[in-house]
Amino acid sequence: MNDNYKRETICIQSGWHPKAVFAESVSNPTLVILDIEKFANLAHSHGVPLIIDNTFATPINCRPFEWGADIVTHSTTKYMDGHAVSVGGCIVDSGNFDWLAHADKFPGLTTPDESYHGIVYAEKFGKGAYITKATSQLMRDLGAIQSPQNAFLLNIGLETLHLRVPRHCENAQKVAEYLEKKEEVAWVNYAGLPSNKYYSLARKYMPDGVCGVISFGLKGGRQASTKMMDQFKLVSIVTHVADARTSVLHPASHTHRQMSDEQLIAAGVAPDLIRLSVGIENVEDIIEDLEQAISKLK
């Protein structure tokens, strides 16, 4: 997203009229760290809110409101749940964005809602207009609400989030450092590594840790990465990510296997890219599994 900064600016300058700027604090799967403050200033200078998907960093590691974000979203399916037991998401409104100050941009909040007795959300609820409309009108019409059972399961996960997230980060850091030293590994992408392009942004926005997800590639390319998938004993091959258990995905042989190397590169997914979501197991066990899998590539 940071690399898109120029493109965003050009779009805005050339008469494109955005209603919001949306970005991930830590992007999935590219693991880019967003310069939140910069994008908050950019969005506000055009009278629109900054919405941050904070799924990977979680509120334990990153608090986007403190850097100017207006709305935060989470896939609760990931770390918040922690055990892949229920699908869900949430929206958190800071209550800081002044919708009335930019009334022409947000008619849904600043003109009467005939489906709700002609209420004008921004007049009646002020800076709470957005989340009030989301819960009273959109939730009513679209039914985007959790079942009691899923809410119960999510709450169990939330009660240990502050214990699990530091452990994920500690383990991911050790795994990333281990991989970076391995002869067979071509590259490692994790903003906790001082060699990473986003290290300083990560230090600023998430000083206690980034997340448990790292990605890396093998010198043997797509073939070696595909082969590695068949060797794991502890690590689970799943499309899911940000789970208590260490999970792995090799897009070129799993989710994106129909695509050629050229098509993968065009889509921003390196053919050798392995996304490793480091879990909360004993890190020595995780590293041992990687070690034995890499040793079989020879």
Ligand X SMILES: *Cc1c(COP(=O)(O)O)cnc(C)c1O
Shortest reach from residue 242's CB to ligand X, in Å: 6
Residue pair 211/240 in contact by the 8 Å Cβ criterion: no
Shortest reach from residue 77's CB to ligand X, in Å: 3
Shortest reach from residue 56's CB to ligand X, in Å: 5
Q: Which is nearer to ligand X, 55 or 226 (CB)?
A: 55
Shortest reach from residue 84's CB to ligand X, in Å: 10
Q: Which is nearer to ligand X, 87 or 265 (CB)?
A: 87
Interface with ligand X (CB under 6 A)? 24, 28, 53, 55-56, 75, 77-78, 87, 89
Q: Which is nearer to ligand X, 60 or 109 (CB)?
A: 60
Closest-approach residue to ligand X (CB): 75
Nearest partner of 60 among 164, 153, 150, judged by Cα? 164
Shortest reach from residue 24's CB to ligand X, in Å: 5
Shortest reach from residue 277's CB to ligand X, in Å: 10
Give me the DSSP letters along the chain: -GGGHHHHHHHHHTT---S-EEEESB-TTT-PBP-HHHHHHHHHHTT--EEEE-TTTHHHH--GGGGT-SEEEEETTTTTT-SS----EEEEE-S---SGGGGGG-HHHHS-BGGGTTB-HHHHHGGGHHHHHIIIIIHHHH-----HHHHHHHHHHHTTHHHHHHHHHHHHHHHHHHHHH-TTEEEEE-TTSTTSTTHHHHHHH-TT---SEEEEEETTHHHHHHHHHTT-SSSEE-S--S-SS-EEE-TTTTTTTTS-HHHHHHTT--TT-EEEE--SS-HHHHHHHHHHHHHTT-
Shortest reach from residue 285's CB to ligand X, in Å: 25
Q: Which is nearer to ligand X, 75 or 226 (CB)?
A: 75
d(Cα 87, Cα 250) in Å, to the nearest integer?
22
Q: Which is nearer to ligand X, 65 or 79 (CB)?
A: 79
Q: Which is nearer to ligand X, 89 or 221 (CB)?
A: 89
Q: Which is nearer to ligand X, 78 or 164 (CB)?
A: 78
